[in-house]
Amino acid sequence: MAEPHDAVEVIVAKRDGGSLSDSQVDWVVDAYTRGVVADEQMSALAMAILLNGMDRREVARWTAAMIATGERMDFSSLSRPTADKHSTGGVGDKITLPLAPLVAACGVAVPQLSGRGLGHTGGTLDKLESIAGWRAALTNEDMLAQLEDVGAVVCAAGAGLAPADKKLYALRDVTGTVEAIPLIASSIMSKKIAEGTGALVLDVKVGSGAFMKTLDSARELAATMVALGQDAGVHTVALLTDMATPLGLTAGNALEVRESVEVLAGGGPADVVELTLALAREMLAGAGVDDVDPAEVLASGTAMDTWRRMVSAQGGDPSAPLPTARESHVVTAPTDGVLVRLDAMAVGLAAWRLGAGRARQGDAVQAGAGVEWHARPGDSVATGQPLLTLHTDEPDRFARALASLDGGWEIAPPGSSYDPSPIVLDRIS
């Protein structure tokens, strides 16, 4: 039991730019989780942390205190090493879907505890739930059994894992304090450390469609998380990856499952394949497996077999047709030229407004809703050619989705040059 403190004393210490002591951190995190510190007091503290930051010791202690509010999982009984990936969230980011079965097919177990989408970024569980019968909730025993048998699990984090984070994340969401780097880093890493993975690869997104809009802020977040992981004995590296442009050619739940299956079948958009392989190589290296080439495993079809077994093990039918939306609307190119910009935030907002995402926790999402784009930056387009297709079950959603795409793409005159950004911008270890 942490030494008792007073909530106002802790808030004032951080408000005045001080560093919180270990015992203040232990107390306030535990007392907030138990309901002794009130939401309005934690809101004030979260805002003081956003404004004044935390040093490395404070963030490490805050993370440990959040882990201590719940259970820790243990995968040491498995016959193979474990590696997990966490993305800070982006538009069209379906990478977990091909990545988890691919890495499992390479001999490393992937315990992937995932979340649901909130706002313009999609959630992996929402995507998988567009597969008939698939269920996200597993007990810890089911998860362990599936990891041993199939090698990959994508499921919802149980309520027992870092309950402090669940409460604090919901509070941050409604108090303008999501963007605090110490709070993002401790939120993500408390769950990953409590989950008990041996190796962790962080995909820190940078650009308009990401939390972190600049390379400098993404580097700071990545370095904070890598230090937290390493201090806790988890082999952790981070890739900083581009999220100015959305990933692949689709954003939306079933649309992204379809694209992921194309990747597992040996096709799919080049950027999705490239990022999947880059993250797979890091996960395998982190788990100590250096004699398997994930590109060969992808080409061999064994990752597709693992995908099918992974979906079936959680009640899903991998052969069932994916749902499609009832209505669609095509946006065509108004002129000949070169597409030089497709903004991730604009596409993410459009997909959300079409019904692929939710406005509040607990809202239902539409499986078939979303956006397909038929050209990527750098592609030449001709007048009248389809540029984007919008999908939804409710046609009255088109107007607001189209409004969010206004100014979200740009066609330069024919022959214009385009300088593509690499998908992986930096690596932090």
Contacts with ligand URA, residue ranges (CB under 6 A): 88, 169, 183-184, 187-188
Q: Are 30 and 64 in contact (CB under 8 A)?
A: no
86 is catalytic: yes
Of 14, 86, 258, 391, the catalytic one is: 86
CB of 211 to ligand URA, least distance (A): 7
For the bound state, the minimum distance from the C-beta of residue 202 to ligand URA, rounded and expressed in Å, comes to 11
Q: Name the active-site residue from 126, 165, 271, 343.
A: 165
End-to-end CA distance of the chain: 35
Instruction: Extract the runs of DSSP E, i.e. beta strands, from 40-87.
Output: 83-87
| 187 belongs to the catalytic site | yes
Residue nearest to ligand URA (CB): 187
Question: Is residue 120 among the annotated active site residues?
Answer: no
Q: Is 172 designated active site?
A: yes
For 299, phi then psi, to 5°, come to: -65, -25
- Cα 32 → chain centroid: 26
Smaller CB separation from ligand URA, 43 or 187: 187
Given 61, 116, 127, 172, the catalytic residue: 172
Q: In what helix (H) or strand (E) does residue 351 lie, and over which residues does it extend?
A: helix 344-351
Distance, in Å, from the CA atom of 19 to the CA atom of 91, rounded to the nearest integer, reads: 36
Tell me the closest approach of the beta carbon of residue 86 to ligand URA, in angstroms: 8
Nearer to ligand URA, 24 or 187 (CB): 187
Q: Least distance from C-beta 359 to ligand URA, angstroms?
A: 18
| Dist. CA 112–CA 88, nearest whole Å | 14
Amino acid at 192: K
Residues found in the chain: 429
Active-site residue, selected from the candidate residues 187, 190, 260, 404: 187
Q: Provide the minimum distance between the beta carbon of 162 and ligand URA in the complex, in angstroms, as a whole number.
A: 9
Residue 72 C-beta: closest distance to ligand URA, Å: 17
Nearer to ligand URA among residue 184 and residue 346 (C-beta) = 184
Q: Which of 5, 85, 94, 191 is catalytic?
A: 191
320 token code pair: 């069932």
> Which residue lies nearer to ligand URA by CB, 43 or 88?
88
Specify the residue, 116 or 391, whose C-beta has the smaller distance to ligand URA: 116
Residue closer to ligand URA, measured from CB, 163 or 269: 163
Contact criterion met (CB below 8 Å) for 136 and 128: yes
Place of tokens 């959680």: 314
CA angle 262, 266, 271 (to 5 degrees): 75
Report the b/e string of 16-40 with b at 16+ CB within 10 A. Answer: eeeebbbebbbbbbbbbbeeebeee
Catalytic positions: 86, 165, 172, 187, 191
